[in-house]
């Protein structure tokens, strides 16, 4: 579509090129422009929900593209992606900054970690039992 429109992506950021979301001049989108679009999308979606005249409409909260960065980072951590990889993707100099600032521990993540811990404890207990029976 960019080529058809005569728009050429001519920007390199940290060695990356060929961005999908570019402005009409071929440059990368500015954070303020993206936030403006997000606000418009949220407003339009919420207006549609309110027009349906439901008793308890589900409305989108206001958020920014920076919120999406937090969410993306949290989901990478939940998926078990190596923290050094996440640190590099975020452009942080230290991994503790990535973990402390850009990740959130959700109830689901805590539950999954405790479930995994319980499973490992049961496996160790079974190994110990098997060893005791073998030695007897």
79: nearest Cα among 71, 90, 88: 71
Tens of pLDDT, residue by residue over 30-68, are 889 999 999 999 999 999 999 987 888 899 999 999 899
Going by pLDDT thresholds of 50, 70 and 90, the confidence category of residue 107 is confident
**pLDDT score of 118 more than 80:** yes
Give dist(CA 130, CA 86) in Å, integer: 40
98: nearest Cα among 89, 87, 85: 87
pLDDT at 69: 87
Structure pTM? Answer: 0.61
Percent of the chain with pLDDT over 70: 99
């Amino acid at each position: 579509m960019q080529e058809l429109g005569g728009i050429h992506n001519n920007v390199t950021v940290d060695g990356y090129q060929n961005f999908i979301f570019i402005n009409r001049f071929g440059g990368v989108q500015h954070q303020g422009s993206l936030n403006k679009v997000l606000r418009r999308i949220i407003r339009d979606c919420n207006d549609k929900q309110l027009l349906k005249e439901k008793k308890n409409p589900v409305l989108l909260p206001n958020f920014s593209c920076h919120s999406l960065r937090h969410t993306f980072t949290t989901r990478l951590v939940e998926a078990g992606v190596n923290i050094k990889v996440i640190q590099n993707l975020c452009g942080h100099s230290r991994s503790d900054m990535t973990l402390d600032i850009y990740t959130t521990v959700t109830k689901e993540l805590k539950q999954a970690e405790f479930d995994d811990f319980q499973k490992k404890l049961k496996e160790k207990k079974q190994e110990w039992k098997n060893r005791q029976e073998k030695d007897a």
